[in-house]
Amino acid sequence: MINSNVIDVESGVENNVRLKTSDFGKTIRYIPLETTDNGLVGRSPIIKVLRDYIVIEAQNSCLLFDKKDGRFIAEIGRMGQGPNEFSSNYSWTDEKEEFLYFQRQPNQLLKYDMKGNFSGNIRFSTSPDMNGNFIGNIRFSTPLGLASHYLFTDTEIIGYFAGINQQAQFALGFFDKEGSLKDSVPLLYPKREAIADEIVSITIHKGYNLYGSWSKAGVIVIDYKNDQRQLTVSNAARIWKNKDDIRFKEEFIDTIFTVSNNTLIPSIIFHTGKYHWPLQESTLKKNTNDRIFIAEVTENNAFIFFQCIKGMYADEPVLYHGLYEKETGQTKLGKDSDTIEDDLTHFMPFTPMGLSTSGEFISLVEAWSVMEWLDKHPDAINNDKLSFLRGLDAEMNPVVVLIE
């Protein structure tokens, strides 16, 4: 039970600690992913861990592995313009985790089973006749584009609509399982549209390194005239589920909402104090090096895990990993640059990349980096907790790390 509804980021930043793996859980499990000719993991992989499967998305492919032993199962679908091919290899799963869904522009999700078989599609629309009907207080006269992120429940699909030039006039859309929009939550603040004449430069970053898990699917950095900047992130997971609670956290708003009956109920506050970044200054670069931006947020039964960035628009932003313990209300923050020491099995430093749908903390390490570490720590080969090292070589697929 949560004793407090405040996550004290200000104090955590000023009293940051070096986090250890024992702060995240009691046990660590290592799963080397099977290396096969048709199951090779590409560069900069995105990892998602389900109850029974590990999903790896990299270099235009989506690969599925068995969570028990890392066995390669199948490549799921294919990117392209042909029949049953998707526009992006970023995926979502349904509430029973029996299918994976992929976007196909302009308004479809393609559905595949866990053996890689195409199983149908969902075509999103504002109304059955697309004829400008009202949904709530909003009138729609054009087809609705795809959301940035989706969450499946047993009764509906919730889409989070974000990014520049987004067609949607709301933050969350509530769809039935056939893709028809039934309700929505209005935008919490007006989105800035990217106007070509105002843009000075556009830079694209990929991977976890600079901005943490929030940016795993890619970040577009847009610099405007008048010393302004905007970051737009692909597929940011601003909506998530833990047990029966559906949560929502919008950018530059320091509140976690609980979604209930298609409305937002304020539930938990990030207290950033003197590091607060006012919404009305969200695109200003000047005097923002000490401002805190709450990036990744997710949770399991014990913790709310978050990552925040100090000076996100600075040349050298500072990334923090944060743990809010629900039972005690305690908040711990550690700098990403300090690394997270493995005090449970004495392996490589742990880099959290989110949570599995079962609540385990996830990381992934490349086999070549493990072998480099092993060269410097040869005695680790005799550690029974690290028995997976004995069959590893630098050319193999990565190793998945789970803490619970």
Runs of H (alpha helix) within 15-145: none
Give pLDDT, residue 125.
82
DSSP state letter for 284: B
Give pLDDT, residue 165.
53
What is the full per-residue pLDDT of the chain (404 aa) written as tens digits? 334 699 999 999 999 999 999 999 999 999 999 999 999 999 999 999 999 999 999 999 999 999 999 999 999 999 999 999 999 999 999 999 999 999 999 999 999 999 999 999 999 986 544 344 444 444 444 457 899 999 999 999 999 998 665 667 789 999 999 999 999 999 998 876 767 789 999 998 887 878 999 999 999 999 999 999 999 888 989 999 998 999 999 999 999 999 999 999 999 999 999 999 999 999 999 999 999 999 999 999 999 999 999 999 998 999 999 999 999 999 999 999 999 999 999 999 999 999 999 999 999 999 999 999 999 999 999 999 999 999 999 999 999 999 99
| Residue 401, burial from CB neighbour count under 10 angstroms (0-12, 13-18, 19+) | buried
Give pLDDT, residue 162.
83
What does each C-alpha distance from 260 to 11, 216, 244, 263, 264 come to in angstroms? 31, 28, 10, 5, 6
How many Cβ atoms sit within 10 Å of the Cβ of residue 92?
Answer: 20
Q: Which domains does the chain have, with CATH numbers?
A: 6-403 (2.130.10)
Q: Which helix (H) or strand (E) holds 370?
A: helix 367-376
Say how far apart CA 238 and CA 124 lie, in whole Å. Answer: 20
What does each C-alpha distance from 263 to 43, 246, 266, 395 come to in angstroms? 40, 11, 10, 50
In sequence order, what E strands does 82-208 have? Answer: 91-93, 99-104, 108-113, 118-123, 134-135, 138-139, 149-152, 157-160, 170-175, 181-186, 199-205
Residues 337/349, Cβ–Cβ less than 8 Å:
no
Residues 42/6, Cβ–Cβ less than 8 Å:
no
Distance of alpha carbon 322 from the chain centroid = 15
DSSP state letter for 79: B
Say how far apart CA 336 and CA 348 lie, in whole Å. Answer: 14
Give pLDDT, residue 163.
67
Give pLDDT, residue 141.
42
With a CB cutoff of 8 Å and minimum separation 6, the contacts of 64 are 53, 54, 55, 56, 72, 73, 74, 75, 76, 100, 114, 116
Q: Which residues pair with 179 in a beta bridge?
A: none
Distance of alpha carbon 170 from the chain centroid = 21
Radius of gyration of the chain (CA): 21
